[in-house]
Structure 1
Amino acid sequence: MILINKKSQVQVHNRATATAVSIETLLSLFLEEVTSTATPEQLDMFLASVGRRLAGLDPLTGLSDVEEIESAVNALWHELGWGHVIFDLDDGGIDIMHKNPPTSAGQEDGIPWDVIMPALLQGAYAAWFHTLSGNDALRTWITKCEPGLIELRHAP
């Protein structure tokens, strides 16, 4: 089990402490291997699965008000440094505007944020909204990706 503490260190099995740099290096190597060997479809499925696991860290159970849900999700994004979200409800579903996600811009090596964030967010939002609604007829898909903004839609 991996626990992230407030000092940007990761404790692994409560025995050893690794630095944020070592964790980022390891993650970069994992991602490089996955992105170089998986098909785009396999990569998206893998990242969406990671997003669903991330959503499982805070399943938002007991919340029903969209403002409470938005606040709870933004608390996680704030802790991770992954931007913030704005939900816009209409009669047909929910528009999800995720602003200021991590980016690969200006970065030669390291985590390929621009590649991983859209599918990861899709998986996380899909899991949260499915948990909250229990409705299998609803799905979540990406509608726009541009620097500083990933938009998704959750609807039938």
Structure 2
Amino acid sequence: MFGPKKIDYRIPRQSSRLWRSLLTAFANEFVTNPGSNNIREVMYKIGHRFATQSPLPTCNSLDEFKTAMNSVWQDLDWGWVDLEETPASLRIIHHQSTNAYLINDVFGEQTKIWGPAILEGAYQKWLSAMGAGESLKVTQSDETDEFGTTEYQLKA
């Protein structure tokens, strides 16, 4: 007989760590926002919800913050982030979030529009939690390249 114990054993071994976490955030957001027409907005909210589900420890410097975020991304096999302070903004460069050509092939060309919004929402939530406030916003500043690198900026 195929009982629950056997299913419980297989589930974590046959689904990617990334997708388990991300799909939970997807499901929760779609339940609370079933009528949304703007997929980019929904994906942003999913990223925000994901970051809420994955809170970072208190960080006292940008290096600690980067390390904390990279710990989350490493655990999910979802690339890594670099941070760079400029006089006008904080640059957030996320590397290897996807194999952009592979993802586009699976989900279609529209992925370029909504895919990066997931990270944008996550970074907004984490930065707000670290004290960035509501007046500073994370926005995508460059298209995702073929290696899955996307740049964002935190600025007023």
TM (norm. structure 1) is 0.70
Which deviations, in whole Å up to 9, do the C-alpha atoms of 1:51-73 show, x marking residues without a partner? 11221233224212000010111
Query: Within 2, Cα distance between the matches of 1:113 and 1:80?
Result: 20
- Contact 1:49–1:120, Cα closer than 8 Å, also in 2: yes
Name the aligned partner's letter for residue 79 of structure 2.
Answer: G
Whether 1:79 and 2:78 are equivalent positions in the alignment is no
Query: Within 2, Cα distance between the matches of 1:87 and 1:132?
Result: 14
Unaligned runs of 5+ in 1: 1-11
- Relative to total residues, which structure has the larger strand share, 1 or 2? 1
TM (norm. structure 2) is 0.70
- Contact 1:102–1:113, Cα closer than 8 Å, also in 2: no
In the other structure, the counterpart of 2:58 is 62
Which deviations, in whole Å up to 9, do the C-alpha atoms of 1:102-139 show, x marking residues without a partner? 12524654798655530000000000111111511101
Whether 1:20 and 2:20 are equivalent positions in the alignment is no
1:20/1:136 Cα in 2 relative to 1: closer, same or farther (>3 Å)? same
Name the aligned partner's letter for residue 97 of structure 2.
Answer: P
Give the length in aligned residue pairs: 132
- Contact 1:143–1:153, Cα closer than 8 Å, also in 2: yes
Cα RMSD, aligned residues only: 3.2
- Relative to total residues, which structure has the larger helix share, 1 or 2? 2
Whether 1:144 and 2:142 are equivalent positions in the alignment is yes
Q: Percent identity?
A: 20
